[in-house]
Structures are given as C-alpha cells and as structure tokens.
C-alpha cells in the first residue's frame, strides 16, 4: 500500500516515503561523478581539473530549479492540505513554466560569456580551453536539468517518488554507458563526457514533463494557469534556502579552487574534485531526505496536525544521527580506497586527495542536522529561517574560514573550513528549532 503525505508516519512509513527521494538524489549526483571518473582516468588530470573548475559555476546556474522545486512543492502541498486541489495544480503548472523560461535565458547568457567566466575563475592555460568547452556543452541541457531538479520535488509531493527514482536511475545508467562509449571507446575526451551527461539530463527533464501533461495516477497535473506573483514570491521565499545553498556552494567551490591553485596548483583542484564527488553522494542522502520530508511537513502544517509535526521532527533527528555516524566512519576509513578510484595513477595527487577526504569527512557528522533544519522550516513555509541557516552554513561562515584558516594551517586549513562552518551553524539551527516550538506546535 502506497504511503501518502496525509498519513501518520511510523519509522517504517517514513523510510518507505523518503527512500525513493534519497536514491533519486544519489543517482542524480552520480552524473557528474561518472564524468569525473572517465575524464580523470582516460583524459588525464588536467582535463579532470578543468571539469572541477567549471562545475561550481554550473551548480550555481541550476540553483533556480532547486528553489522552485523545494519551495514550490512545499507551497503546493500546503495548498492541497487546505483542501484547494485545483489551485495547487495551477500553482504547480505556473512554476514549471517559470523554470523553463529561466533555464533558457540562463543557458543563452552562459554560453555567450563562458570564456569570460572561465578566465575569471583563474583557469591556467593548461585547462582554459577544456573548461570553456565542457561548460558550453553542459549549458545545452541546463534548462532540462533545472526542470529535472524541480520535478524531483513535485513527484514526491504527488506521491510518485518511486517514479522519480526510476527516471533518475535510468538516466544515470544511460549516462554511464554513454561516458564509456564516448570517452573510453571513441576517445572524445572531455567533450564526450559533457555530451553524455547532456543527453541524460535532457531526457531526465522531459519524461516527467510528459507524465504531468496528461491524465495520470496522481492528484497533480498541468492545468491552464495565469501569472500569480503572490504564489511566485511565496515559492521563491520558501525555496530561497535551497537556491542560496546551491549558489553559496558554487561561490564557495570557486573560492576553494582559488585557494587550492595557490597551495597545490592543478593537483589541488583535482583533489577537491574527488572530495566533492564523495560529498555529492553523502550529501545526496541528506538532500533526498529533505526533498521527501518537505511536502509531508507542509501538508501537516497546512492541515494543523501539530502532533504529527512533533512526530516527524523526532524521527528525523534520529535518522539524521544514525546517518551522520555512518557517513563519518565511511569517510575516515574509506579515504584512500576512494581516492585510488579517481587518481590512483598519480602518487602525489593520491596522497593529497586521501588526506583531504579524511579531514573533510568530519563535516558529515554535523551537516545533516543543518540541512534537515533548513528543510523543516521550508516545509513550515518559513523561508526566512530556512534561508538563514543555509546561507550561514554554506557561505558566510565557510567563506571566512576558507580565507583565514589556510594562513595558519596551509592546505589543511582549506579542508577544515567546512567543519568549522557546519559546527557553528549547528548551534544556530538548534536555537531556531528550540525557540520556534510554540509558534508551530511541534
């Protein structure tokens, strides 16, 4: 029997409901990881550094899709919880149209100014041309990637998270096969990796579109709609934390690359790429859980079910605690084997990467609580607090740490920056959760 967002959630139901969202995020994160594996091992470490240099920019450009998906799904679920099904569908339809339009505009501008962007990132002559090429190829599919990110949240809201998982899994397998074909067999290098991912992203964004465009088994589908600025503002406010998280991660990633070019040149950028790939997988669990739990919190808040909000909070904190311990242990003991998969061909780069992973993995003990706290307030339609938590953990504190810690600890200070940022933000997240209990009844 399918789990509905209106249900009372036991641990078993909670895990069943969020598991497809978690798996979906993990599979989606594999797109760039597969590119990195093939580029690093079959195109060389300079091409690998080029991919990692431009990747934070591409993540930042796609942030709008995450914002509309998470913020919009919370608003749609809240509206549905109030019994306004028709209006919920109209809001959903309008938001997807908005994502498509924004994606087209960003793709055009990004393609035109890509050389200037890569130059501003501080690319050396060794990686400049590859960075421009990969960036422009990836911008071809950016609109569809933004739509895919939005649909991930809306499929969970429509109680069709398993469908989202199947789409992501199929596209992940396709991406891997095409990477093997284009990079390993046909020797197309970095261009082949970009084309493989672009094809998978285009299909990943169009399949859900056609599902919602016709009669389907869920309560959510496209309706004729009109521009609703109030709904747009609300969705953007709700999802601002997720957009700011992606934008901040992009900015911080660029800053990491600047600092690492200073301390370890292309080797530092390549090592950071491996660290980010591991982080993508581990953080996908937290973000997937956030996508799954957001519409549930939004529905029960809209329906006035305070006891269920309390139940969801307690169970979520326990799930996050278990995940945090497991991930930290995996990061500590698996650092060298993981590094060997990507950069085992270069002893110096392997040593830098393994040490970076061991230090960075302590952040996994902390960041799940901050990501959940932000998602919880998004579900409560409190975009202000949600955004504050996200900006503090991903931008304000971390930027300061990246700039200051290397002065005293060298390259190790760069890897420690995330730990400091997550630790300080955890106190702030706990403060908001404790002080807002009476406001929301959880």
Which pLDDT does position 440 carry in this prediction?
A: 85
Residue whose token pair is 């799904």: 73
Which pLDDT does position 295 carry in this prediction?
A: 81
Of residues 336 and 35, the one with the higher pLDDT is 336
Average pLDDT over residues 377-381: 84
Query: Which tens digits make up the pLDDT trace of 90-137?
Result: 988 899 999 999 999 999 999 999 999 998 887 778 889 999 999 999
* C-beta atoms surrounding 65 within 10 Å: 31
d(CA 232, CA 221): 18
Asked whether residue 359 carries a pLDDT value surpassing 90, the answer given is yes
Which pLDDT does position 101 carry in this prediction?
A: 92
The single-letter DSSP state of residue 183 is I
The single-letter DSSP state of residue 232 is H
Which pLDDT does position 429 carry in this prediction?
A: 93
Average pLDDT over residues 55-72: 80
Query: Taking the complete model, does pTM exceed 0.95, yes or no?
Result: no
Query: Could you state, in order of their start, the residue ranges of all structural domains in the chain?
Result: 11-440
Contact 188, 182 (CB under 8 A): yes
Contact 376, 313 (CB under 8 A): yes
* C-beta atoms surrounding 408 within 10 Å: 9
Instruction: Give the model's confidence band at 366: pLDDT under 50 very low, under 70 low, under 90 confident, else very high.
Output: very high
Which pLDDT does position 31 carry in this prediction?
A: 67
Average model confidence (pLDDT) for the chain? 86
Which pLDDT does position 49 carry in this prediction?
A: 82
Residues 6+ apart with CB under 8 A from 375: 70, 289, 290, 291, 293, 294, 297, 386
Query: Which tens digits make up the pLDDT trace of 18-63?
Result: 888 888 788 777 766 777 788 888 888 888 888 888 888 888 888 7
Average pLDDT over residues 401-411: 89
If we measure between CA atoms, which residue out of 34, 39, 57 comes closest to residue 49? Answer: 39
Which pLDDT does position 326 carry in this prediction?
A: 94
Average pLDDT over residues 422-434: 93
Q: What tokens were used for 417?
A: 């920056």
Average pLDDT over residues 60-74: 79
Residues 6+ apart with CB under 8 A from 435: none
Asked whether residue 398 carries a pLDDT value surpassing 90, the answer given is no
Alpha helices, DSSP H only, in 361-396?
367-379, 383-391
Average pLDDT over residues 412-435: 92
Name the most confidently modeled range: 38-42, 70-74, 80-84, 330-334. Answer: 330-334
Which pLDDT does position 240 carry in this prediction?
A: 67
Instruction: Give the model's confidence band at 299: pLDDT under 50 very low, under 70 low, under 90 confident, else very high.
Output: confident
Average pLDDT over residues 54-81: 81
Average pLDDT over residues 359-379: 91
Run of H or E residues at 322: helix 306-333
Asked whether residue 351 carries a pLDDT value surpassing 80, the answer given is yes
Q: What tokens were used for 152?
A: 């991930």
Which pLDDT does position 113 carry in this prediction?
A: 94
Residues 6+ apart with CB under 8 A from 391: 241, 244, 248
For residue 221, the SS3 value is coil
Query: Which tens digits make up the pLDDT trace of 195-254?
Result: 999 999 999 999 999 999 888 888 888 888 888 888 888 887 777 666 766 777 778 888
If we measure between CA atoms, which residue out of 324, 334, 227 comes closest to residue 278? Answer: 334
The radius of gyration of the chain from alpha carbons, rounded to an integer in Å, stands at 21
* C-beta atoms surrounding 85 within 10 Å: 13
């Amino acid at each position: 029997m399918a789990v509905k967002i209106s249900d009372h959630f036991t641990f078993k139901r909670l895990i069943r409901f969020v598991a497809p969202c978690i798996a979906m995020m993990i599979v989606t994160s594999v797109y760039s990881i597969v590119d990195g594996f093939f580029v690093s091992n079959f195109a060389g470490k300079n091409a690998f550094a080029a991919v990692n240099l431009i990747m934070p920019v591409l993540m930042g450009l796609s942030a709008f899709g995450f914002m509309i998906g998470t913020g919009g799904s919370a608003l749609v679920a809240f509206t549905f919880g109030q019994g306004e099904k028709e209006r919920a569908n109209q809001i959903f339809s309008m938001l997807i149209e908005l994502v498509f339009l924004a994606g087209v505009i960003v793709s055009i501008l990004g393609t035109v100014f890509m050389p200037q962007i890569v130059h501003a990132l501080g690319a050396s002559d060794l990686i400049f041309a590859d960075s421009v090429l990969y960036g422009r190829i990836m911008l071809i599919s950016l609109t569809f990637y933004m739509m895919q990110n939005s649909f991930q949240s809306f499929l969970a809201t429509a109680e069709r998270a398993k469908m989202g998982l199947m789409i992501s899994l199929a596209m992940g397998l396709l991406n891997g096969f095409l990477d093997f074909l284009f990079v390993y067999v046909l020797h197309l290098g970095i261009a082949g990796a970009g084309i493989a991912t672009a094809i998978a992203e285009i299909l990943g964004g169009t399949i859900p579109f056609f599902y919602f465009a016709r009669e389907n088994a869920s309560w959510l589908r496209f309706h004729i709609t009109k521009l609703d600025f109030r709904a747009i503002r609300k969705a953007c406010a709700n999802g601002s934390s997720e957009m700011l998280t992606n934008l901040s991660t992009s900015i911080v990633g660029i800053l990491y690359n600047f600092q690492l070019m200073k301390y370890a040149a292309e080797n530092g950028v390549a090592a950071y790429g491996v660290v980010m790939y591991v982080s993508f997988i581990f953080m996908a669990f937290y973000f997937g859980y956030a996508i799954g739990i957001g519409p549930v919190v939004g529905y029960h808040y809209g329906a006035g079910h305070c006891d269920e909000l309390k139940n969801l909070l307690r169970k979520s904190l326990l799930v996050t605690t278990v995940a945090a311990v497991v991930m930290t242990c995996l990061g500590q003991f698996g650092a060298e084997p993981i590094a060997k998969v990507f950069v085992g061909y270069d002893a110096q780069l392997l040593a830098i990467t393994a040490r970076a992973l061991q230090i960075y993995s302590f952040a996994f003990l902390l960041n799940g609580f901050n990501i959940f706290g932000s998602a919880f307030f998004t579900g409560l339609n409190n975009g202000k607090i949600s955004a504050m938590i996200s900006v503090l953990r991903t931008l304000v504190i971390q930027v300061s740490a990246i700039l200051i810690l290397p002065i005293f600890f060298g390259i190790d200070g760069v890897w420690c920056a995330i730990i400091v940022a997550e630790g300080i933000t955890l106190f702030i997240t706990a403060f908001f959760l404790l002080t807002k209990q009476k406001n929301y009844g959880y």
